[in-house]
Structure 1
Amino acid sequence: MAQSEVRGEAPAVEDTKSLAPKNSDAPARSGRHGGRGGGGRRTGGPKTERPRRRRRVLRWSATVLAVVILGTAGAGYLYYQHLNSNIQKGKRANGDDSKAHRTRPNAAGQTPLNILLIGSDSRNSKENLKLGGSRDHVGDPPLGDVQMLIHLSADRKSAAMVSIPRDTRVDIPECTDPKTDHVYPATNDIINVSLARGGAGCTLLTWENLTGVYIDHWMTIDFAGVVRMADAIGGVEVCVNQNVWDHSTPRQRGGSGLKLTKGPHQVKGEQALQWLRTRHAWGSDLMRARAQHMYLNSMVRTLKQQNVFTDTGRLMDLADAATKSLKVSEEIGTVKKLYDLGMEMKSVPTDRITSLTMPNIPDPNDPDNHVVPDADKAAKLWQMLQDDVPLDKNGGESGPKKDTGKDEPAKKPSLDASRLGVLVQNATRTGTEAPVQQRASAIGQVLVQKGYARAQADTSGSLAEDKTVVRYPSADLEGDAQAVAKALGIPMSSVKKSTDVSGVTVVVGADWRSGSSYPKQSQPKAGDLPEGTDAVNASDKGDCMNVYGPYQW
């Protein structure tokens, strides 16, 4: 009986032994069997009660630990759900009229990532009204006064932040309001009104049609969101070369209220919003874009220095502020996807981030208030983004080479050239230049001479395209479109599938205003930016804003 009871207690003895220090085996055994005086011979209650009590203690401790772990996990899950519920989402694009196409993958199969960041001037909340001023616009659809494309290279080793001034006159495509289903017809207007014609998805389409760059996602942020984010970051350093006070003057009403002394300053909260909204004190809307780039570059440096991605408390504060402040396109509408996006951005070295503004010139129709793209220079910038050419020169020769698709074999045409109908459109109009008269007819005649007897000009009106393209509606006509492009000397990378056409269509763009053969296009090189971009590298800590005379104090 005694042996049986001792064997029955063996697991408890071994369990307890495993918890004791290695140099205390003997006292542990003595204690388990009742101490000195032959306790090992007894088989009654005292011998078995203590191990059972210890087993109960261990079992209770394990239960408590399990409850604590599950409780913590539950709290984490609830917090994760709380963050997800903060996020507002919307459709990526509020229409189908996009002429942009994804950039071809590089040799490693990677593609760039493009995100459109839109700053809204909405006054449709008490918080925004308090921060934004005028009550005259309460209830009005918000305008997109800040518009910036964030481009992450395919290899995630370089990035760009490209602004278009809010007063840029552009073609805005037909868009549908996702809330009311109201259809806004295509128009020509300044770019900031695109947000009021169907939301961020309409602004995205406007950018795609202007730049030819495929945009993966959008994010919008309002006045209150800027304040929350600035507070969560803890301050961003900015700098002015003179004392600045952006206030109403007899000649110019309004102003952000920004008031700083000469030199560097940490701005956060409402003061950060004032910095981002200031326009008059910098002298123009173009200089406001430069001040915004300075702020964002400094913010990137600040976040990297704080190592916020490994600081749980800071990360939670930022996550809460970001999810309350941002509205995003639905494909990135979860905390995990936004976090993954942040980690991708974090991987880019500061000296590989370039901030710049689209080259522009005064609008011939309203030179005092509006601008239009500087056609050739803007086209070069868009080409660099489409081809994923780095906008800086700090990358050396590292990274996978790009696959331009030039060596890709052409598809076999489905029809003989003489039987194929080809439509030629004149899209040589730009923001500053009238279309070249009879351009579609001239290129149509070139095609006829090359055997395309059914080629004809579209006489319905002139369009505006920076680059010449050949479009086709379905896969069975891809080979025919490629053959037409080859006959005219147009590169295969400019042959695009499109739902906007019913047959093979040659769109003669502003890059081909004269001549019967498509002009050879030079390939842009890393850092070879066009003039007029006002580019700034994010590693430049010595950048300061000049203050326009009337706003110095």
Structure 2
Amino acid sequence: MSLAPQTPDGAAGSGRRGGGQRPGGGGKDGRPRRRRRALRWSATVLAVVILGTAGAGYLYYQHLNGNIQKGRRSSADDSKAHRTEPNAAGQTPLNILLIGSDSRNSDENVKLGGSRDHRGDPPLGDVQMLIHLSADRESAAMISIPRDTRVDIPKCTDPDTGKVYPATNDIINVSLARGGAGCTLATWENLTGVYIDHWMTIDFAGVVRMADAIGGVEVCVKQNVWDRPTATVPGGSGLKMKAGTHKVQGKQALQWLRTRHAWGSDLMRARAQHMYLNSMVRTLRGQSVFTDTGRLTDLAEAATKSLKVSEEIGTVKKLYDLGMQLKSVPSDRITSLTMPNVPDQRDGNHVVPDGANADKVWQMLKDDVPFDKNGKSSGEKKAKETTPAKEPSLDPSRLGVLVQNATRTGTEAPVRQRAGAIARALAQKGYGRASADTSGTLSQDSTVVRYPSADLRGDAQAVAKSLGIPLSSVKQSTDVSGVTVVVGADWRTGTAYPKRSAPKAGDLPEGSDAVNGSDTGKCMDVYSVYRW
């Protein structure tokens, strides 16, 4: 559970817990056995929400289902993001978008968030964080995008009102007001190319409830801090504490997560939120809540009342299944960072993604490369299965090959005549029946060679080899009627597919401000104006 910049912020944390149940049989009437089953269910569900912040007994199942608010996964008509291909074991990564809403549409939120004049306004997504769980479930990452990042927001339709919002270029936090969390998810996919499986949102009041249910989280400041209005800068979260380590909960936890001025910038607020989440994960793991029915009930009530989730995970059972996947990552395999960014030349109050450095973060997510270096070395890991080559069935001169231009991206126009250039290159290599698809341009991150049936696999591999495309990018697909080369956004120039070295684990770009989940020595620096 993380909170908001200038408003609260989505919660998150990768908590799970240890502990378990004692072995042994039940009494004649079976009650002890049923009690253990309830505790076992409760213990697992505690690992569910936000990497583990939920729990419940079986008897509360229907009640908790009724608490959960749900919404449509995406508000956009289409998405250019594609799921990462399964690894050798058939596993795929899991991506969850956490959104902190600044909604002031209740007395409780107005009291906590101030700005009574904004009651009734569409909420903004002032805190946005992507939780990435690796395909092998051995590492995780939390990536924040600053709320004032200028991005392209796609056309979105509000699922509740049916109102259609045209595509626009604006700061990312307004996406929540243009079609709900589903529009924010679509905006992230448009920007990053990363497929996002689910979203979760939380508001001011939800953050306070969750912080109280957890029982407090330790944070640290290097100097006395008081985030208050000054003669030149109005507002402030109200956070006031002395230098050192403190346990915050309730309203003070919200103040910590919303503080911006005292840390010096929005970017430093993201760091404070990451530190809070990492500490929360450690707190949950260190608590013995399995046998404390009251604590479990409090956590369950707080979580299901505080969160709104995408509809495909909108039951306790679905959240339970999700929690089972999330609970195994150790703290030293969790990395928190902020998207590398640079000042926006159009407006000094905003930022934009830092080109190649931001792209590297997104590519590491799409390739499922760990952000930390604490896993097994490449020599210890089982090598990925390679695609065996097969003999082609036809002479190249007799093989029909269609080339499609998919170089368009969310931020870049397609490269004109790209399909034609690759078709001519294939003709020079003996594929005289290669032709360009003139029906229009597509959008795809990576180049791929597709074939419709097993008898053409060897031919598709031969086409890929002639262009320098790796065999791992040759895929069988029912969407094509013959061998088809889809030239993606990763190949915008030249007639030989560019060779590139794969990112290595922990090789993060500059400007990402990474924090490891096991680091307990981090303290926030206080901007001098807000010291006391």
The normalised TM-score by structure 1 is 0.76
Cα displacement (A) at 1:306: 0.6
Tell me what 2:14 maps to. none
Cα displacement (A) at 1:348: 1.1
Alignment of 1:233-312 (within 5 A): 233-309=214-290, 311-312=292-293
Pick one of 206, 213, 218 that aligns with 2:187.
Answer: 206
Counterparts of 2:243 and 2:213, CA distance in 1: 26
Give the letter aligned to residue 353 of structure 2.
P
Greater mean alpha carbon deviation, residues 307-316 or residues 327-336: 307-316
1:545 aligns with 2:498: no
Counterparts of 2:250 and 2:392, CA distance in 1: 58
SS at match of 1:253: coil
Alignment of 1:372-411 (within 5 A): 372-397=352-377, 401=382, 403=384, 406-407=387-388
Alignment of 1:431-450 (within 5 A): 439-441=415-417, 444-450=420-426
Tell me what 1:520 maps to. 499
Counterparts of 1:386 and 1:417, CA distance in 2: 36
State whether residues 227 and 270 of structure 1, in contact with CA within 8 Å, keep that contact through their aligned partners in structure 2: yes
State whether residues 472 and 502 of structure 1, in contact with CA within 8 Å, keep that contact through their aligned partners in structure 2: no
State whether residues 393 and 527 of structure 1, in contact with CA within 8 Å, keep that contact through their aligned partners in structure 2: yes
Cα displacement (A) at 1:71: 12
Alignment of 1:180-195 (within 5 A): 180-195=161-176
State whether residues 103 and 111 of structure 1, in contact with CA within 8 Å, keep that contact through their aligned partners in structure 2: yes
C-alpha distance 196-484 of structure 1, shift in aligned 2 (>3 A): farther
Alignment of 1:154-169 (within 5 A): 154-169=135-150
Cα displacement (A) at 1:455: 2.6
C-alpha distance 498-177 of structure 1, shift in aligned 2 (>3 A): farther
C-alpha distance 248-492 of structure 1, shift in aligned 2 (>3 A): farther
Pick one of 334, 338, 359 that aligns with 2:315.
Answer: 334
State whether residues 211 and 379 of structure 1, in contact with CA within 8 Å, keep that contact through their aligned partners in structure 2: yes
C-alpha distance 180-416 of structure 1, shift in aligned 2 (>3 A): farther
Pick one of 301, 322, 325 that aligns with 1:344.
Answer: 325
Structure 1: where are the runs of 5+ without partners?
1-60
Tell me what 1:369 maps to. 349
C-alpha distance 107-317 of structure 1, shift in aligned 2 (>3 A): same
C-alpha distance 446-331 of structure 1, shift in aligned 2 (>3 A): closer
Identity %: 70
1:8-43 Cα distance to aligned partner (Å, 9 max, x none): xxxxxxxxxxxxxxxxxxxxxxxxxxxxxxxxxxxx
State whether residues 282 and 546 of structure 1, in contact with CA within 8 Å, keep that contact through their aligned partners in structure 2: yes
State whether residues 105 and 402 of structure 1, in contact with CA within 8 Å, keep that contact through their aligned partners in structure 2: no
Cα displacement (A) at 1:157: 1.5
Pick one of 113, 136, 154 that aligns with 1:132.
Answer: 113
Pick one of 160, 166, 173 that aligns with 1:179.
Answer: 160
**RMSD value over aligned CA atoms?**
3.9
State whether residues 116 and 147 of structure 1, in contact with CA within 8 Å, keep that contact through their aligned partners in structure 2: yes
Counterparts of 1:394 and 1:207, CA distance in 2: 28
Cα displacement (A) at 1:309: 4.6
Give the letter aligned to residue 103 of structure 1.
T
Tell me what 1:108 maps to. 89
C-alpha distance 94-282 of structure 1, shift in aligned 2 (>3 A): same
C-alpha distance 129-411 of structure 1, shift in aligned 2 (>3 A): farther
Give the letter aligned to residue 543 of structure 1.
K
SS at match of 2:98: strand
SS at match of 1:218: strand
State whether residues 151 and 169 of structure 2, in contact with CA within 8 Å, keep that contact through their aligned partners in structure 1: yes
State whether residues 200 and 308 of structure 2, in contact with CA within 8 Å, keep that contact through their aligned partners in structure 1: yes
Cα displacement (A) at 1:338: 2.0
Cα displacement (A) at 1:185: 2.1
1:360-410 Cα distance to aligned partner (Å, 9 max, x none): 1122322x1111112211222112111221111111238864647655769
Greater mean alpha carbon deviation, residues 91-100 or residues 538-547: 91-100
Greater mean alpha carbon deviation, residues 290-299 or residues 323-332: 323-332
Counterparts of 1:114 and 1:444, CA distance in 2: 36
Pick one of 309, 313, 316 that aligns with 2:297.
Answer: 316
Tell me what 1:9 maps to. none
Cα displacement (A) at 1:284: 1.2
C-alpha distance 421-342 of structure 1, shift in aligned 2 (>3 A): closer
SS at match of 1:108: coil
Give the letter aligned to residue 276 of structure 1.
L
Give the letter aligned to residue 447 of structure 1.
A
Counterparts of 1:233 and 1:341, CA distance in 2: 20
Greater mean alpha carbon deviation, residues 249-258 or residues 512-521: 512-521
SS at match of 2:235: coil
1:536 aligns with 2:512: no
C-alpha distance 261-72 of structure 1, shift in aligned 2 (>3 A): closer
State whether residues 244 and 262 of structure 1, in contact with CA within 8 Å, keep that contact through their aligned partners in structure 2: yes
State whether residues 122 and 223 of structure 1, in contact with CA within 8 Å, keep that contact through their aligned partners in structure 2: yes
State whether residues 406 and 443 of structure 2, in contact with CA within 8 Å, keep that contact through their aligned partners in structure 1: no
SS at match of 2:416: helix
Counterparts of 1:136 and 1:485, CA distance in 2: 60
1:156-208 Cα distance to aligned partner (Å, 9 max, x none): 22111111111112222222211112222222222111111111112112222
1:229 aligns with 2:229: no
1:250-307 Cα distance to aligned partner (Å, 9 max, x none): 2222111111111111110011001111111111111111110000000000001113
SS at match of 2:365: helix
Cα displacement (A) at 1:496: 8.4
C-alpha distance 481-429 of structure 1, shift in aligned 2 (>3 A): farther
C-alpha distance 475-309 of structure 1, shift in aligned 2 (>3 A): farther
State whether residues 449 and 464 of structure 2, in contact with CA within 8 Å, keep that contact through their aligned partners in structure 1: no
1:292-343 Cα distance to aligned partner (Å, 9 max, x none): 0000000000001113355443222211110111111122222233234334
Pick one of 206, 213, 218 that aligns with 2:199.
Answer: 218
Cα displacement (A) at 1:450: 2.4
Counterparts of 2:440 and 2:125, CA distance in 1: 35
C-alpha distance 472-160 of structure 1, shift in aligned 2 (>3 A): same
Counterparts of 1:410 and 1:209, CA distance in 2: 39
Counterparts of 1:257 and 1:547, CA distance in 2: 14
Give the letter aligned to residue 164 of structure 2.
V
Identify, as 1 or 2, the structure richer in helix. 1
Larger Rg: 1
SS at match of 1:534: coil
Counterparts of 1:293 and 1:185, CA distance in 2: 33
1:356 aligns with 2:337: yes
Alignment of 1:51-62 (within 5 A): none
Which structure is higher in RCO with an 8 Å CA cutoff and minimum separation 6? Answer: 2
The normalised TM-score by structure 2 is 0.79
Counterparts of 2:391 and 2:296, CA distance in 1: 50
Counterparts of 2:451 and 2:188, CA distance in 1: 22
Structure 2: where are the runs of 5+ without partners?
1-26, 39-55, 428-432
SS at match of 2:129: strand
SS at match of 2:318: helix
1:117-154 Cα distance to aligned partner (Å, 9 max, x none): 11111111111111111123211221111111111112
Cα displacement (A) at 1:222: 0.6
